[in-house]
Structure 1
């Protein structure tokens, strides 16, 4: 495991070199946080208690959402975009020659990226939001531990989805179209547009059962203490999708490797 830890550390250092882009991104997330707050305040004034959230919950959701967009990789992430590009150009052959597992290599790279983004871009919007609005924070050490676990699980679920999207390039030549479709699904089903708790009827049930819900909505609900079945069921939901997605990723890697061998002679 030492090699994967080293990969994650180097990935963290790599992304820490983009200081101007990071500050600009954090500023942009903060601006959008105020815009969303205006929309949510209007919506919750018209529909108090919408989705079981009070106004403070809704505003907290906004600032957590803005802080987690990049760490979770809701819009995609440069690591998996890079992987998709390497598949498209054939450079993935170099990765397959490394004495490491392909999926664990890229998971380590993504973990380093996510940790840097969480530190550099996750905290600033939340800090600014907490200075202006009355936000909710975890009230116990156990809840903070649960939040940390939910965030880690959310990143891994997101990686599992993005890894499968990147590997689709083995069969369709160029995964960029699938990446765009996956981003749209992520925006809708993760809670980026609206909290999934406000979706009515079967639409809400379907949305909350998808893996995208495990990336953003579930960690925020753990933070707010709003999980209907408790924290244990929320984390189990995320773990279930992690198992499914990583198993699918491992299987896809095996088939992709065989495809490369067959095509390469």
Structure 2
């Protein structure tokens, strides 16, 4: 008796899993670039540590709830995530839309948006191992960090990091699909770079912002990429509050993916390829 066919959802999950692994393998092909990224992470991590710990010291040892240990943890976790969270806005899909190669992607029996994001998330996950974790280790050895003593924040924090990485690449996919109408997307990419790092909490914790700027940041998906995962990992938010933070991340992810799906369908109808 023949075996029943594999259901479409299961088959789709296998396809995206393979694309994610392909992204990991592709990124692993650039060891020197990874090493250079680690050196940059460590260098700027030490600079950020000096500046922010001086600010904590000048505030009397505590600044917006951060002491020396927790501020150091923020610095080195943010540096560790820098290679995995896409804050610079570039992607292969952006180039494929510009060149017209995306027309071939639309002919493949796999969702264009899902395939692009899965591949990019795979590249981001690889960066956690040779670039992210060593960056944090450098911080632990050079400066010292304060982290939770219970496993709960780490379990939820790892999931929060995965969601944050996915949110970042889903947002960059949105930048790419604007190319269906703009063709030249360098302008929106520069705008994204200018805003994402600030609101994601790369330069300084969002909680150090003035009230009006913090409110503006929280109204965007950018804190879900980096600031919220760091808050969960370091135990700055715990229990129901931590679950709520992850819920906010998931809500942003769902919204960004839905918008990307709508724009992809609309872009496909407007796509024109010269000579095709």
Check whether TM > 0.5. Answer: yes
Distance 2:141 2:273 in 1: 59
Q: Does 1:144 align with 2:154?
A: yes
1:88–1:118 Cα change, 3 Å: same
Equivalence for 2:215? 205
252-261 or 37-46, which deviates more:
252-261
- The residue that corresponds to 2:32 in the other structure is 20
Consecutive unaligned residues in structure 2, runs of 5 or more: 1-12
- TM-score, with length taken from structure 2: 0.90
Which of 101, 117, 127 aligns to 1:91? It is 101
Confirm or deny that 1:75 pairs with 2:66. no
Give 1:208 shift: 2.5
**What RMSD over aligned residues (CA atoms) do the two structures have, in Å?**
1.8
1:171 aligns with 2:146: no
1:1-265 paired onto structure 2 within 5 Å: 1-47=13-59, 48-77=61-90, 80=91, 82-227=92-237, 230-260=241-271
Pick which of 191-200 and 134-143 moved more: 134-143
Change (3 A) 1:54 1:179: same
The Cα shift of 1:134 comes to 2.4
Contact 1:160 1:246 in 2 (8 A): yes
Q: Deviations over 1:39-68 (max 9, x none)?
A: 012111112321211111111111111110
Please report how far the alpha carbon of residue 88 of structure 1 lies from its aligned counterpart in structure 2 after TM superposition: 0.9
Shift of 1:74: 1.9
Q: What runs of 5+ residues in structure 1 fail to find an aligned partner?
A: none
TM-score, length-normalised on structure 1?
0.94
- Partners of 2:105 and 2:236 in 1: CA distance: 42
- Distance in 1 of aligned mates of 2:54 and 2:66: 14
The alpha-carbon distance between structure 1 residues 217 and 144, as it changes in their structure 2 partners (threshold 3 A), is same
Q: 1:38, CA displacement in angstroms? A: 0.8
In the comparison of the two structures, how many residue pairs are matched?
262
Bigger share in helix: 1
Distance of 2:93 and 2:260 partners within structure 1: 13
Q: What is the alpha-carbon distance in structure 2 between the residues aligned to residue 167 and residue 49 of structure 1?
A: 44
SS of structure 1 residue aligned to 2:42: helix
What SS does the aligned partner of 1:140 have?
Answer: coil
Superimposed CA distance per residue, residues 198-248 of structure 1 (whole angstroms, 9 cap, x where no aligned partner)? 012122122123100110100000012112861111101101101110000
